[in-house]
Amino acid sequence: AKRWGRADAVLRGLDERCAAPPARLRQVADAVAVEMHAGLASEGGSKLGMIISYVDSLPSGQEKGLFYALDLGGTNFRVLRVQLGGKEGRVVKQECEEISIPAHLMTGTSQELFDFIAAALAKFVSSEGEDFHLLEGRQRELGFTFSFPVKQSSIASGTLIKWTKGFSIDETVGADVVAELSSALDRQGLDMKVTALVNDTIGTLAGGRYDDSDVVAAVILGTGTNAAYVERANAIPKWHGLLPKSGDMVINMEWGNFRSSHLPLTEFDQALDAESLNPGEQIYEKLISGMYLGEIVRRVLLKMTEEASLFGDDIPPKLKIPFILRTPHMSMMHHDTSPDLRTVGAKLKDVLGIQGTSLKTRRLVVAVCDIVAKRGARLAAAGIHGVLKKLGRDIPSSDKHRTVIAMDGGLYEHYTIFSETLESTLREMLGEEVSSSVVIKLANDGSGIGAALLAAAHSQYL
Ligand code: ADP
Ligand code: MG
């Protein structure tokens, strides 16, 4: 009984520290909007990078021809080719392949990583079928989705600011990632030109806009989290270039690095951050994204074991292994609707090697998942609300325009309680009238096709 009391105390403490009531979410949303302004005003003016993407026009639908895309940004990378048929033909044909990156390459050398990617791409190109047509005498062109913070210097060049999401290769930091990829393509003997360097948010924004002209922003909730949106170029004080013809500029917010005293942080978050590959950075991402949610839960369960012998007197050795409990495991436990919570029992056994858990214990585990997932989802909703505020789309307007947010990422796609909490929280924050015109649209792998569309829009042959 004493044991349960202590476990309950840990749970209650967690619940209190993770609380994100409406007033606090409003503070977070306000802080996001304020930081957006600051990041646009000056380089380094904010935790939010607010990176100028050099994408000043989004796909129109006129794009034509064969284009490739490569998407690197998490544990998998994807290669894609698409035959675009212009206004009438749209996407004539599309093929995609997903390849997982061996863990040792994520912390090895730059050349090894890019050679691996180029080799996979070369293999994919060699399987190009008859349905795809490259115009006579043309070079194949590629949109490169590289979902790490990059300082763009043009639409097709940019240097890596830092790695995130478990990647860590020092020599790549500061290097032009297009040059790195292009040399690797040369080493493979693959004749292909990178005509657009974007990240997944910008790819998703482009792909989303191709499908729906009311798309104004894109959000990624996958291994990491980020957002991009369309800004008026004359509202970007730090932009000293010519004003683009469209008057628009797409901004890559790098919102994963947001932080604020209003964020509900716990001892678990602090320890996770301190022991991470990038301490002090990506604080918002560490509260929200798929890479971290399961790990936060593991840390809470470990504490409950240490303080309250949750799983018996000995600490199950696997529970001490960082990142062993993945967010998909957490999500499966959280969605368990069986009366005896058998999926929870099975996951505890299979993932953590903990046998014979009682129903009471399983309920406690679900309660931990619930607190951690809902905090993340509510904070993500507050981030979106902040962006809508900056765009002036958080208040009722006389013209009845829709506001569409293109969403991508495995966390949002598969973690139903997370996505439902996000949507209901956003509704709660916006109120009925405004939220009736705000739509979150799942753009499943929109970033791949988006990058191909941007490669087409920035073709050397235009
Ligand atoms: P990436 O973000 O690496 O480009 P995805 O968008 O496919 O790739 O997202 C993958 C991430 O989504 C995984 O790292 C995981 O955190 C999360 N995820 C995948 N499946 C699930 C699931 N069933 N439940 C919860 N989270 C999931
Ligand atoms: Mg992705």
Atom from ligand 1 closest to the CA of residue 71: 4
Confidence at residue 451, expressed as pLDDT on a 0 to 100 scale: 96
Full-model pTM? 0.94
- With 0-12 / 13-18 / 19 or more C-beta atoms within 10 angstroms meaning exposed / middle / buried, residue 88 is exposed
Ligand 1: which of 286, 411, 419, 444 to mutate, most ligand atoms within 8 Å of CB? 411
The mean of the pLDDT values for the chain is: 96
Confidence at residue 387, expressed as pLDDT on a 0 to 100 scale: 98
User: Which residue has the CA at smallest separation from atom 21 of ligand 1?
Assistant: 328
Q: Which ligand is nearest to the CA of 294?
A: 1
Mean pLDDT on 153-176: 96
Catalytic residue among 57, 71, 78, 140: 78
Residue 75 has pLDDT above 80, yes or no: no
pLDDT above 70 covers a percentage of the chain that reads 100
Confidence of residue 462 (pLDDT cuts 50, 70, 90): confident
Mean pLDDT on 111-120: 98
Catalytic residue among 71, 176, 200, 211: 200
Residue 297 has pLDDT above 80, yes or no: yes
CB within 6 Å of ligand 1 — which residues? 73-76, 222-223, 290-291, 327-328, 331, 409-411, 414-415
Q: What is the pLDDT of residues 1-51, one digit of tens each?
A: 788 899 999 999 999 999 999 999 999 999 999 999 999 999 999 999 999
